[in-house]
Structure 1
Amino acid sequence: MTTDPGQLRKATLQARDRLSQDEMAVASEAICDKILKLPEIINSQTIFAYVSFRSEVATYKLIESLLAAGKTVAVPITRVAEKRLDAVKITSISDDLEPGYCKIPEPTDTLCRTNTIVPDTIGVILLPGSVFDKRGGRFGYGGGYYDRFVSNIPDAFRIGLAYDLQIVEKIPLQPHDELLDYVVTPSAVYKGNRK
């Protein structure tokens, strides 16, 4: 296993991209079931969730379940010029999203003007990533957007969603890499060492 962050990220994403649609669907459903049972999710009113894209762990059903449970769900809008994410409240996946940055589904311009929420109100953040480890280490995709986002909301609970093949023993974290509280895979819930 390589310790070069770029190589590790690339190799893991290539392996993730090789999963079949069925494998991704079954794994994503198992992860979703685990997440909905976490006390942090049950006890939190406002949840920030990434909108899945390509081979990421699917979040559409998870977001729909959270909305059906009466949760306030916010999703990211990427502010490329400012290199940051904003949180925008949605009430419907089918009505509120359109292709945005890198064609990732993002909230519509209208929603961004009216529904941006204050980050401090977020109780739980659900994060994508390329590689994770069992202590809550996470590599994203190299842009640093999520690291900057979560570092500004230290009290929010952080949960990474990953297929089992994305878990390694220990990733070579950089000082700016933020630790997670949990990493949830189809087969396990790893409790991170953040606190």
Structure 2
Amino acid sequence: MDLKILRKDTLLQRDMLSREEQRRRSMMIINRIIGMPFYKGAATVFVYVDFRSEVSTRPLITHMLQCGKKVLVPVTLVRERDLLAVSIKDPDTDLAPGYCSIPEPIVTIREKQMISPGTIDIIFLPGSVFDERGGRMGYGGGYYDRFVSQKAPQALRVGLSYELQMVKKAPLQDHDELLDYIITEKRTIRGSR
């Protein structure tokens, strides 16, 4: 199947989930994460802030902050086609709509709380389509692929996905980076990175 059609069809299916169903499935995924040894041992975690119908990360962010983990979230630099990692302490006050209205750290804390990606233990990634090898198709910009390969290659890569986003083998491109794990509401998949 054509990459663009697969991405579009999968996102349409994801968008059709009710808000309640998104919340329910997201909590199942978060409960799986909280029980994972790699999560328990992580000190610094980079996590996307959910947008539209993505797996919700707000409850995970709250849990990480309560556990004393350093929580980093992305700032999108469109011109540079890059991401920054910025530490937050309270998602309710530290975030505001940014690029494409995606929540990101407010300008006043960006410079003071920017953190080196080399310190990241885990990166939680969003995506449109995932596969059983640990493949991930993003949204077409390559931001996360560049970030994990060039700035944080040491970090464990974990994709968060609803089961409906899973395919046997995604039509990955050369720049698409493989993940260590993909966590859905039904299972944990060990990637082949």
**TM-score using structure 1 length:** 0.97
Distance 2:187 2:132 in 1: 10
State the partner residue of 1:29.
Answer: 27
Q: After superposition, where does 1:120-135 map in structure 2 within 5 Å?
A: 120-135=118-133
1:192 and 2:191 aligned: yes
User: Matches of residues 1-195 of structure 1 in structure 2 within 5 Å?
Assistant: 3-152=1-150, 153-194=152-193
Please report how far the alpha carbon of residue 154 of structure 1 lies from its aligned counterpart in structure 2 after TM superposition.
Answer: 1.4
Q: Distance in 1 between matches of 2:57 and 2:9?
A: 23
Deviation at 1:172, TM superposition (A): 1.2
Q: Deviations over 1:101-149 (max 9, x none)?
A: 0000000001111000000000000000000001110000000000000
Letter in structure 2 aligned against 1:188: R
The separation in 1 between residues aligned to 2:122 and 2:157, in whole angstroms, is: 6
Which structure 2 segments of 5+ residues have no match?
A: none
- Kindly state the Cα deviation for residue 185 of structure 1 after the two structures are TM-superposed: 0.2
- Cα shift at 1:40: 1.1
Measured in 1, the distance between the counterparts of 2:35 and 2:124 equals 14
Please give the secondary structure, in 2, of the residue aligned with 1:76: strand
What is the aligned length?
Answer: 192
Tell me by how many angstroms 1:48 deviates. Answer: 0.2
In 2, Cα distance between the equivalents of 1:151 and 1:166?
Answer: 23
Distance 2:127 2:20 in 1: 20
Structure 1 unmatched runs, 5+: none
Q: In structure 1, how many angstroms separate the alpha carbons of the residues matched to 2:155 and 2:36?
A: 14
Task: Spell out structure 1 runs of 4+ moving beyond 4 A.
Answer: none
In the TM superposition, residue 46 of structure 1 has moved relative to its aligned partner by 0.1
CA separation in 2, counterparts of 1:82 and 1:193?
Answer: 30
Cα distance in structure 2, aligned partners of 1:178 and 1:165? 21
**What CA RMSD, in Å, does the superposition of the two structures yield over aligned residues?**
0.6
Letter in 1 for 2:188: V
Find the aligned partners of 2:75 and 2:27 in 1 and give their Cα distance.
Answer: 25
Q: Secondary structure at the match of 2:111?
A: helix
Letter of the structure 2 residue corresponding to residue 117 of structure 1: I
C-alpha distance in 1, partners of 2:130/2:34? 20
